[in-house]
Amino acid sequence: MAIALFIGYKALLNNETPVACIVTKGTQIISIGYNYTNNSLNGTKHAEFIAFSRLDKDKDKDKKNIDNCLDDDVDYGKLTLYVTVEPCIMCASYLRQLGIGRVIYGCSNDRFGGTGTILSVHKDSRLPNSPFQSIGGVCRTEAIQLLRNFYIQENVSAPVPKVKKNINIDEKEFPPVDTNLLQESFRALYGEQSAPVKKNQELTPIYNQGYCMSSLLTMKDLETVPFLQEELGNITEAQLQEFYTLFYDIDRNGLVVYEKSIQKYQLKRRKLDEMGIARVKN
C-alpha cells in the first residue's frame, strides 16, 4: 500500500487527484494505476481502469478498447488490487466483471464507495459474476492525508483561480476508524501470530508496533515498480523525502501522532504565485 501511496503522490506532482493502485500476482507487482482524469479530461479514467487496461494492452498492442480488458487469458481471480481509496461504484462493478481475487484499500470513499460504504457491489448476491473480498483500512490516514493535500490546493485550471483561505490540514483529525478488516482477514494478511484488530485503532503492519512512512518504503522498493518512472517521471531522493514528511506517524497503540509536524504539498500554490508575479509584471 505504501507503494500505491507513493504512486498517488507522483500523480499529485502531475496535477492529478492522488488516488492510485498496484496490482499484484503473488509477491510481484504486475501493473500500476493512478487517476488520470484531469490530464485526460475523461472522468472515467480511474486508477483501477488504468491498471487493468494495461494488462491487456501489453499482451496485444493492437487491442486497446475497454472490451478487451476482459481478457479470458488473464486469471484475475489470482490477482490482488491494492488501492488507496475504496473503489467507486463504477470501478467495483468493473472489478467484479473482471473476476478480481481480492481488493485491499486505504480509506473509505464516502461519496461513491462501491465495496461497502455506499453500495456493496463486491458481495451483492443479485449481481452476476463471483463476489470478491474487499478489505479496507490499510494506511487509511495516509490515503486521506494525500487527498487533503490535493484539496487544499487552488485549481489553477479554473478561469479565475480561487484562492482557498482558512483551509488548514495541520492536526486536522481523521474520521473514526471504519475498517471492515475482520480478525480472520487480519491474520490472513499479517500472519497467524498477529493479534486481532482493536476498535478505533489504525492498522499497523506489526501488532503493538507503530510505524512511519519511511519505515514502510525505500528507494529500493520503488525502483522495481513497473511503469512508474516511464509514465510519471523519474523518482528522486528529494521526492521520497518530501513524501515521508506529508504523513503523521502511527504509534504502537495504532493512534495518530498529531504532535509531529507535517509538511504540505505546495506545487500548485507555487504555480499560482508565479501566475501572480506574472500578472504584476504585466
Decide if residue 45 touches Zn ion (CB under 5 A).
no
Query: What residue spans of 152-258 are helical by DSSP H?
Result: 183-190, 213-216, 219-223, 228-232, 237-245
Among 29, 51, 81, 88, binds Zn ion (CB under 5 A): 88
Does 91 bind Zn ion (CB under 5 A)? Our answer is yes
Closest distance between Zn ion and the C-beta of residue 234, in Å?
Answer: 28
Q: Which is nearest to 81 in space by CA: 1, 173, 140, 142?
A: 1
CB atoms within 10 A of CB 146: 29
Span from 21-29, 85-93, 103-111, 158-166 in contact with Zn ion (CB under 5 A): 85-93
Q: Is 98 in the site for Zn ion (CB under 5 A)?
A: no
Single residue of 46, 96, 122, 268 touching Zn ion by CB under 5 A: 46
Q: Is 142 a catalytic residue?
A: no
Q: Which among 16, 48, 86, 202 is annotated as catalytic?
A: 48
Evaluate whether 83 touches 47 at the Cβ level (below 8 Å).
yes
Number of residues that bind Zn ion (CB under 5 A): 3
The closest alpha carbon to 171, from 244, 260, 252, belongs to 260
Candidates 65-73, 88-96, 198-206, 210-218: pick the segment binding Zn ion (CB under 5 A).
88-96
CA–CA gap between residue 38 and residue 36 (Å, rounded): 6
We find the least distance from the C-beta atom of residue 90 to Zn ion, in angstroms, to be: 5
Q: Using CB under 5 A, which residues numbered 208 to 267 contact Zn ion?
A: none
- Minimum gap (Å) between residue 46 Cβ and Zn ion: 3
CA distance 207 to 196: 8
Rounded distance, CA 221 to CA 243, Å?
14
Rg of the chain over CA atoms, in angstroms? 19
Cα–Cα distance between 72 and 95 in angstroms, integer? Answer: 14
Report the C-alpha gap between 55 and 246 in whole angstroms.
Answer: 31
By the rule CB under 5 A, 95 interacts with Zn ion = no
Residue 105 or 211: the one with the smaller Cβ distance to Zn ion is: 105
Least Cβ distance, residue 228 to Zn ion (angstroms) = 20
Contact segment (CB under 5 A) with Zn ion among 35-43, 84-92, 143-151, 206-214 equals 84-92
**Active site amino acids:** 48
Residues lying near Zn ion in the complex (CB under 5 A): 46, 88, 91
